């Protein structure tokens, strides 16, 4: 058996403080394929942790039966620093309260850091080039001197991911259908993941604007390929953000179903020598994230939705009414909020009191929106 629990102590930034990061590893250390799975980078998003709670016993049993054909690392709750942050009985797990930085933003652009180490070392063998790039990344990580606990956490997690062939980052939205974010060059290769997950949408972008965790490795290999056009450099890691519905959807039955999907995906890839179960129905084909409208309000008020999750809507159709909370018609006037594209409602906000500029819904369309092309695609 190789199934093992690891406890990494992160020294705190204040006297007497320290945090423990838990992870599990399993499978042959010398396996040809390495898998990195993490949940709750946004520490207030728990459905992924629930899914991994149900996946870990399946992986433990597969390990005991000698069925694992990959080396797998699992961080069931990858951000214990965010778990510790509460204010007035409200969990603030999305942002580092010291810096205000979103935990899933500003991950490093690796290629500029390692490009000097690659000069003259890339050859005609694509797989060898991936090994060379990975070694350079791991050497750069090991050369860093982290100061704060969050810096230590990021480097520790990134070191595991940078050595992996498959990197899955489990998140959730506010109130949402299941969906995936990934890089366009990884599709249709990850269509099987979308199928096993049963997503309503797969949204692709090379650069969503926030330097998110799932974009670090595809960006690395893309930039390496662009800088070395005479050398074969495949994308060395299949990475994706898996959005497991909404924050309130941490339930045993959903977590068990999600774990079965993840197990089926790994088994169908031959990474677990076990029956993956019935092949799922095909998920929708990927669409550019630039074709998804992030609908915002330009005045504060109280939302009254007209459209439910999954509803198909047309441009100009009212999605919700915004009830005025000030002015001459306060608490009487309702202003329709209109869809700006044809598509379906992927997500909505749970809190119905909204402020000026807040996003209230995402509408997945198929036509790239001029207001989205080349811009910041994320909600925060």
DSSP string computed for 23-65? EEEES-TT-S-EEEEEE-SSTT--HHHHHHHHHHHHHHHHHHT
Give the structural domain span for 298. 289-364
Q: What are the structure tokens assigned to 305, written together?
A: 């939705």
Same-domain pairing of 261 and 299: no
Q: Is residue 202 part of a domain?
A: yes
pLDDT band at 225 (very low <50, low <70, confident <90, very high): very high
pLDDT band at 328 (very low <50, low <70, confident <90, very high): very high
pLDDT band at 168 (very low <50, low <70, confident <90, very high): very high
- Region 256-260 average pLDDT: 98
CB distance 307 to 293 below 8 Å: no
Same-domain pairing of 267 and 316: no
Same-domain pairing of 237 and 349: no
Q: Is residue 17 part of a domain?
A: yes
Q: Is residue 379 part of a domain?
A: no
pLDDT band at 375 (very low <50, low <70, confident <90, very high): confident
- Region 337-366 average pLDDT: 97
Q: Is residue 378 part of a domain?
A: no
Domain stop point among 228, 259, 285: 285
- Region 184-190 average pLDDT: 98
In the chain, at which residue ranges do the beta strands (DSSP E only) sit?
4-11, 18-26, 34-39, 71-75, 86-87, 90-91, 166-173, 175-176, 179-182, 201-204, 238-246, 287-288, 292-296, 301-305, 312-313, 318-323, 334-338, 343-348, 353-354, 359-364
Nearest to 236 by CA among 224, 221, 219: 221
Q: Does the pLDDT value for residue 30 go beyond 90?
A: yes
Same-domain pairing of 259 and 302: no
CATH of the domain at 125: 3.40.630.10
How confident is the model at residue 379, as a pLDDT? Answer: 86
Q: Measure CA 351 to chain center.
A: 22
Distance, CA of 362 to CA of 246 (rounded, Å): 13
Q: Is residue 369 part of a domain?
A: no
CB distance 169 to 38 below 8 Å: yes
- Region 134-150 average pLDDT: 97
How confident is the model at residue 1, as a pLDDT? Answer: 81
Same-domain pairing of 229 and 353: no
Model confidence over 148-161: pLDDT tens digits?
A: 999 999 999 999 99
Q: Is residue 374 part of a domain?
A: no
Model confidence over 63-119: pLDDT tens digits?
A: 999 999 999 999 999 999 999 999 999 999 999 998 999 999 999 999 999 999 999
Percentage of the residues of the chain whose pLDDT score is greater than 70: 100
Strand order in the sheet with 166-173: 4-11, 18-26, 71-75, 34-39, 166-173, 238-246, 179-182, 201-204, 287-288
pLDDT band at 251 (very low <50, low <70, confident <90, very high): very high
How confident is the model at residue 380, as a pLDDT? Answer: 83
Same-domain pairing of 72 and 205: yes
Q: Is residue 102 part of a domain?
A: yes
Could you give the count of Cα atoms lying within 13 Å of 102 in the half-sphere of its Cβ?
12
Same-domain pairing of 88 and 137: yes
Domain count, the chain: 2
Element (H, E) at 139: helix 126-143
Average pLDDT, the chain: 97
Contacts of 156 (CB under 8 A, 6+ apart): 8, 10, 21
Domain stop point among 285, 311, 344: 285
How confident is the model at residue 374, as a pLDDT? Answer: 83
Q: Is residue 208 part of a domain?
A: yes
How confident is the model at residue 123, as a pLDDT? Answer: 97
Model confidence over 189-207: pLDDT tens digits?
A: 999 999 999 999 999 999 9
């Amino acid at each position: 058996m190789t199934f093992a629990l690891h406890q990494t102590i992160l020294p705190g930034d204040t006297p007497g403080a320290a945090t423990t990061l838990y992870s599990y590893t399993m499978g042959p250390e010398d396996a040809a394929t390495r898998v990195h799975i993490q949940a709750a980078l946004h520490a207030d998003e728990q459905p992924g942790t629930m899914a991994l709670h149900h996946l870990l016993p399946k992986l433990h049993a597969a390990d005991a039966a000698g069925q694992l054909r990959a080396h797998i690392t699992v961080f069931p709750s990858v951000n214990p620093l965010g778990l510790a942050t509460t204010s007035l009985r409200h969990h603030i797990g999305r942002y580092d309260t010291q810096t205000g930085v979103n935990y899933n933003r500003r991950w490093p652009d690796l290629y500029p850091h390692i490009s000097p180490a690659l000069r003259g070392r890339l050859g005609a063998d694509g797989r060898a080039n991936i090994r060379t790039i990975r070694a350079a990344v791991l050497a750069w990580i090991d050369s860093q001197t982290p100061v704060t606990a969050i810096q230590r956490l990021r480097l520790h997690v990134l070191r595991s991911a940078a050595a992996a062939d498959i990197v899955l980052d489990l998140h959730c939205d506010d109130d949402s259908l299941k969906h995936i974010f990934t890089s366009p060059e990884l599709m249709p290769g990850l269509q099987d993941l979308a199928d096993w997950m049963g997503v309503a949408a797969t949204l692709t972008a090379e650069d969503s604007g926030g330097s998110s965790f799932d974009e670090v490795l595809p960006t690395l290999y893309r930039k390496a390929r662009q800088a070395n056009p005479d050398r074969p450099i495949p994308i060395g890691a299949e990475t994706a953000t898996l959005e497991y519905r909404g924050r309130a959807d941490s339930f045993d039955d959903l977590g068990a179903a999600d774990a079965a999907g993840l197990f089926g995906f790994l088994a169908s890839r031959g990474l677990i020598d076990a029956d993956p179960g019935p092949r799922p129905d095909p998920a929708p084909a990927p669409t550019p994230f630039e074709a998804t409208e992030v609908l915002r309000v330009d005045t504060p008020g109280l939302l009254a939705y007209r459209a439910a999750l999954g509803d198909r809507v047309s441009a100009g159709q009212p999605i919700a009414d915004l009830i005025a909370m000030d002015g001459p018609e306060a608490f009487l006037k309702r202003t329709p909020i209109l869809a700006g594209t044809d598509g379906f409602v992927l997500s909505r906000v749970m809190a119905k009191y909204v402020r000026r500029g807040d996003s209230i819904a995402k509408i997945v369309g198929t036509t790239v929106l001029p207001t989205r092309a080349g811009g910041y695609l994320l909600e925060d």
